[in-house]
Amino acid sequence: MRVGDQQRGESRRQSSLVVAYVALGANLGDAVVALRWAVKALHGLPQTRVHQASSLYKTSPLDTDSGDEARARGADYVNAVVAIETGLSAPDLLAQLQALELLAGRERPYRNAPRTLDLDLLLYGSARIDSVWLTVPHPRMALRAFVLVPLAEIAPGEVSAEQLKAVEHQAIERIEPLMAQTV
């Protein structure tokens, strides 16, 4: 049984592969180890392979949910973005991401709580999805340097100069490559 199948039923097959971008973040435990584990786990998902990964970045926890920026509680985050090719539908991919978060010990005691692993589906091909469970493009990605900077590193065409300028005041530090090379 595949990760998440117990929650959502068998994965529906896509007729072709879609390029999707997934943001990775952690600020509990060894965050670098958690993100490297997540990349391997993503590469092992059905019909999915990781083909590009950004560097790792250190950022302060940030709450952008209200539309106003505020420093959230907790230790600094380690963040990255990966590009994957997948035959999974967007809802099935989301279910797989949530299952991986659970495997990594993710708990959700309150909104913006510190986390062992956070996986967000940013983009799914050119799809626009607005459902109860999933919104793509991710609704807050343009407010977050910890998403835009690593995304621009691996997919510069997905991020505009204006978007980067709007978040340039947010502290973000490149710390090391996530992967030695493309998976």
- Residues known to be catalytic: 106, 115, 118, 120
CA dist., res. 53 & res. 68, Å (int): 29
CA dist., res. 73 & res. 65, Å (int): 14
Amino acid sitting at position 37 = W
Going 102 to 10 to 133 to 129, the CA torsion angle's sign is positive
Amino acid sitting at position 50 = V
DSSP string, 35-64: HHHHHHHHHTSTTEEEEEE-EEEEE--EE-
